[in-house]
Copies of this chain bind each other. A is one copy, B any other.
Amino acid sequence: MGRYRIGIDLGGTNIAAGILDDSLSLIAKASVPTKAPRPAEEVCRDMADLCRRLCREAGGLSPEEDILSVGIGSPGIISGGVVLRADNLGFRNAPLVLLMSRLLGKPVTLRNDGNAAAYGELVAGCGQGCRSLVAVTLGTGVGGGIVLDGRILEGCAGGAGEVGHIITHAGGRRCACGKRGCLEAYCSATALIGSTIRAMENNPDSLLWEAARSTSLVNGKTAFDAMRLGDPVASAVVEEFILDLATGVSNLINLLQPEILCIGGGISREGETLLAPLRAKTAGLLCAPENSATRIVAASLGNDAGIIGAAAAGGLNAGDARHGDTMQGGFL
């Protein structure tokens, strides 16, 4: 039998996939556009083609003999091998495990993409050797995932791990989800860009203008760059952002106390500029000094976390693999 696993990170824009060897290293990687929204059957055909292409590009692996399983990470609410709802894919009740196992004749597992990425960081990234990790990913929104005792926390109906939508500021800023005061409305890259632009508009002399040139060129790095230039307005923007993030992070630690809490997404590339004050502010919000056992670190796998986690989770919580285990089909 084979010793490789395929992981697929199904995103709203691209489908990225890779082959993982048994040391959890990616030996091949490729992607195609998702072209969402379109029917799940069409998306699955492209994902299956991508798997076959990867096998060829990885030096001619035999899908039948070399591939153990296929794991998919998808946005949205996932339960029982079905994407119940994923707005950015246009999916409602899309039975991806059934469709993919028919196309490939392999055990197929399906996870929420945030959960898959968290699992990837645990097994092959910043959480190696640990059993529990919570990931917080700062991007267009705030995503994340929870792994406890080596298992992805999926919840009783696939809805757990919505880290970005815990409410930290009741009655506060409107979130993209329609609610008010979600962590995402304060700590996404989008939120940081908004704070940066507001600060620029209110402070025509700020060095933020030098860092960004114009408000339309502001990104998640602008405030950090201007802070490094010595701009106090930028420092205040960054400080407020980190305090809000510390509020969310402290909630996660006070509730779950994982061994690792990792911060991912573009903003995490600021490294210790972000992490050192985040640790200090979080420590002030924990219930007891003993709770500081959780290590706050940067995610280390970048965009590969989802592929690696989806692939590595192939053998985990095996209930999800029931279609794949029993379906017959041709991989090629």
Which residues of A are interface residues toward B (Cβ below 8 A)?
77, 79, 84-85, 132, 146, 148-149, 151, 153-163, 165-172, 177, 179, 181, 244, 247, 250-259, 284-288, 290-291, 293-294
Contact = CB atoms under 8 A, between A and B. Distances in A.
Nearest to A131: B156
Given A146-B255, A252-B255, 20 more contacts: A77-B291, A148-B148, A153-B256, A155-B291, A156-B294, A158-B257, A158-B290, A159-B253, A159-B290, A159-B291, A160-B257, A162-B254, A162-B291, A165-B254, A166-B251, A167-B247, A169-B171, A170-B244, A251-B251, A255-B256
Contacts of A251: 166-167, 251
Nearest to A294: B156
Contacts of A79: 290
Q: Which of A149, A159, A161, A256: most chain B Cβ within 10 A?
A: A159
Copies in the complex: 2
A254 B166 contact: yes
Contacts of A171: 169
A159 B288 CA distance: 8
30 contacts: A77-B290, A79-B290, A84-B290, A132-B156, A146-B256, A149-B151, A155-B256, A155-B293, A157-B257, A157-B291, A158-B257, A159-B254, A159-B288, A160-B254, A160-B256, A161-B255, A162-B254, A162-B287, A163-B255, A165-B254, A165-B287, A166-B251, A166-B254, A168-B170, A169-B169, A169-B170, A169-B171, A170-B247, A177-B287, A179-B284
Nearest to A288: B77
Nearest to A167: B247
Nearest to A178: B284
Contacts of A172: 170
A318 to B, nearest CB: 14
Contacts of A160: 254-257
Given A169-B170, A251-B166, A258 B159 contact: no
A162 B255 contact: yes
Contacts of A132: 156
Contacts of A148: 148, 153
A294 B171 CA distance: 24
Contacts of A159: 253-254, 257, 286-288, 290-291, 293
